[in-house]
Amino acid sequence: MTDNLLDRVAALVAVESPTGDLEALAAAAEAVRALLAPLGGRLREHPGEMGTHLVLELDGHGSDSAPVLLVGHYDTVWPVGTLQRMPWTVADGVARGPGGYDMKSGLVVAAAALSDVLASGRPHPPVRLVVVADEEVGSPTSTPLLRSLAEGARAALGFESPHPGGPLKRGRHGSTRLRLRVGGRSAHAALDPGSGISAVDELVDQLVRLRALVDRPGVLCNVGSLTAPGRTNVVTDAAEAEIGLRFADPAVEQEVMAAVRAMAPVRAGARLEVEVLSSRPAWVPAGSDELLTTALRVAAVLGVELDPAPAAGGADTNTTGSLGVPTLDGLGPWGAGAHAEHEQFEVAALEQRRRLVAELLLALA
């Protein structure tokens, strides 16, 4: 049975799907459709400017409970051609390949678990499975869809990778991507520097100010890119930076983002634009809920340790969790190397996760 699951992961990994590459994503969406087609149900497409998001709806059986939302994505951080230097391999119980760990193996687990649930003939709740195309850049086009699907949901299950070794994720830092765009005025850097306004100097000062704004516990700041096309003999009139922010506390998140949006130019005549590219609110779970209680009970029967704990990384479960929907994430196989050259997952985890998810869905009936 594990070989069959590995074949399904291999089929998805073979179709490279970097975020933003619409041609590649279209082919990958077709591969996801093929994975989900045997489940039946109603498969709807939601085209967007960053790719097509897929939603599968399955009716419940012998249960009048609210639906359970399953959450995943098929985009990856790897450009087309990565397979040539990072080929799909399986050796010594470990599978390797770009996007296999994050998170195409998780999609296979979700589909396999749903197949088991449907074949069991036992009561189960209705299911909504959403697979989005833009998660790796913060889900800017799919978040409204996620929010609508979360309405009325009894619980949400995320199929991202777990903590090392398999513990689930319950709680996530907020994650915001923003762009600082600065406009200045060009001039000759030697003959008439005083008439220019350096966008580069302005951007550097703004980044220093940003560092001061986020210098507090529970906030992470990473400047991911700097762009300033120009020449050394010309005062540059344009510059921008893309920045990632992480927040452990929703109140701090709101306070910092209000201050960031209020940032103003340092230099007279300079222009500053703060653009929020994507934003996922912090997910801070309340105490115990029915989903957690049920998951722990199922895991105990299966002899599985869940040990749910918060995660620093952001994902689409930020959205469901922040809306108050009981949520668990990390139901994909455990492994290592998300977004890294050594990306890999443990083959044995496929079957364990499949059984865990299937039994959890049945228990939620």
- Quick one: tokens of 130? 């959403």
The reply to whether 249 belongs to the active site is: no
How far apart, in whole angstroms, are the C-alpha atoms of residue 146 and residue 124? 22
Q: Is the dihedral of CA 195, 199, 201, 206 positive or negative?
A: positive
The reply to whether 215 belongs to the active site is: no
Catalytic residue, candidates 16, 102, 134, 135? 135
Catalytic residue, candidates 75, 136, 160, 253? 75
Inter-residue contact 171 to 280 (CB < 8 Å): no
3-state secondary structure of 102: helix
Contacts of 347 (CB under 8 A, 6+ apart): 2, 6, 90, 93, 94, 95, 333
Contacts of 118 (CB under 8 A, 6+ apart): 39, 40, 58, 124
How far apart, in whole angstroms, are the C-alpha atoms of residue 365 and residue 362? 5
The full DSSP string for 228-240 is ----TTEE--EEE
Catalytic residues: 75, 135
